[in-house]
Amino acid sequence: MSKHEPVLLKNMLQPGYTGCLQDYERTGGYQALRKVLGKVPPTEVTATVMKSGLRGRGGAGFPTGVKWGFLPKDYRGPRYLCCNADESEPGTFKDRQLIERDPHQILEGIVLACYAIGAESSYIYIRGEFVLGARILEQAIAEARTAGYIGANILNTGITANVWVHRGAGAYICGEETALLESLEGKRGLPRVKPPFPATHGLYNKPTVVNNVETLANLPHIINRGPEWFASIGSPPKSTGTRIFCVSGHVKRSGNYEVPMGITFRELIYEHAGGMRSDKPLKAFIPGGASAPFLTPDHLDVKLDFESVAAAGSMLGSGGVTVMEEGTDMVWAALRLMEFFYHESCGKCTPCREGSSWLVQTMRRIVAKRGRMEDLETLVDLCKNIAGRTVCAFGDAEVAPIMSTLKHWKPEYVTLIHEAQAANLLHPKRIMARP
């Protein structure tokens, strides 16, 4: 197992650490604010983040500093920062731990980002079910405001950065940045057609940056220790730093593991997570949350970085690694994920709204051993007519479980259909339900 120093999880690994303001300050908390606010130009803070190579930890992996740089330089009106804490990707639970165990780390990152982009107002959009996390954040904000780290005239620098918590209604689609902005404005959470992009027409039609919780939590460490330090970790030059991976499923030690980007799935699953729960062979794993295509044991030596996982035919996504042992019914697994996406479709786009229903009905029929061979062609046609044809990436996400299981485990679909045909021969009057 490779040795590495935890960065984001380091504080909470200390005995007795509660995440309160005093504990955070004892670990060097808010020193990054003291270091840059009013002393380092905001453009230099942005340049530092660019130099570090930090990329978004929410799913897309877009370079953080570059994203900040898209905001118009000559705009004189208000700008906004939104912290995306709507962690709703199945198999992903890292942001919740950061929020509940070390909230001031996130708040310091938010204020630093506000300073860099010139925003005086920021919102933490948190999933409605995370009641405990919302309360902890509100308490931490109150502590930080009293101490002068949040609000007007921070640390007597004349700089203002206010932070508010906004609880969503629990919609998966609100993890998509433009649907998040719609929800923040009090509207139904539906993704916007782009362009225009949030950088110029975001919250309240003003320039806006949306960053993930883990992304923002990295900022104090980059400021304190320098961009070269961060860039030297992981798999430079394009996948730098550490990353928190959420390992769940058929492993002996499920949980969050902060490791340098670039280690292999084999090391993560077999060394950090302890290997397979029942000592059965590995059959499949999802590398980046439910919206990422399945991978097989042949991909165990693929590196955990953006480029390597993409080359393997999947994506690093939210970092949720779900492991499945030999004996798992892959058709059933794909159906369970498809049912989730069908339930969470916002209904804005016809291919997604109508196609997801058709996909679920067809998959249910196959799993119930009432399928036909032509159903496989129907599944492929439906997936092709959904992927790339929706306003947001939801369409691509919902077809990933079906397309990847058809690619790697098509015989399991065929076996279920053959069993259906055999049962139909034994019972010729049996009616095959159509979708």
pTM value is: 0.94
324, containing H or E segment: strand 320-325
CA–CA separation, 337 and 328 (whole Å): 14
Q: For strands 80-85 and 255-260, give the pairing.
A: unpaired
Q: What average pLDDT does the structure give for the chain?
A: 94
End-to-end CA distance of the chain: 50
Between 74-78, 82-86, 133-137, 425-429, the lowest mean confidence (pLDDT) is in 425-429
What are the structure tokens assigned to 414, written together? 């065929």
Identity at 282, one-letter amino acid code = L
CA–CA separation, 150 and 155 (whole Å): 9
Q: Among all chains, which residue has been given the structure tokens 């731990």?
A: 97
Return the pLDDT at 242.
96
Return the pLDDT at 134.
97
pLDDT one-digit tens code per residue, 270-303: 999 999 999 999 999 999 999 999 999 999 999 9
Checking if the pLDDT of 327 tops 60, the result is: yes
Return the pLDDT at 420.
83
Q: How confident is the model at residue 434 (pLDDT cuts 50, 70, 90)?
A: very low
Checking if the pLDDT of 424 tops 80, the result is: no
| Cα dihedral 288, 289, 291, 294 sign | positive
| Nearest Cα to Cα of residue 235 among 65, 94, 61, 66 | 61
* Residue 160: how many other CB atoms lie within 10 Å: 15
What are the structure tokens assigned to 423, written together? 């049962």
Q: Among all chains, which residue has been given the structure tokens 């430079």?
A: 236
| Nearest Cα to Cα of residue 344 among 213, 193, 175, 133 | 175
Return the pLDDT at 59.
83
Identity at 254, one-letter amino acid code = S
pLDDT one-digit tens code per residue, 94-113: 999 999 999 999 999 999 99
Cα radius of gyration rounded to whole Å, the chain: 23
Checking if the pLDDT of 205 tops 70, the result is: yes
Structural domains present in the chain: 11-231 (3.40.50.11540), 234-325 (3.10.20.600), 330-426 (1.20.1440.230)
Are the C-beta atoms of residues 309 and 275 closer than 8 Å to each other?
no
Return the pLDDT at 433.
45
What are the structure tokens assigned to 419, written together? 């069993």
Tally of helices (H runs) and strands (E runs) in the chain:
17, 10
Are the C-beta atoms of residues 284 and 271 closer than 8 Å to each other?
no
CA–CA separation, 331 and 413 (whole Å): 6
CA–CA separation, 272 and 250 (whole Å): 14
233, containing H or E segment: none
Return the pLDDT at 431.
46
Are the C-beta atoms of residues 210 and 70 closer than 8 Å to each other?
no
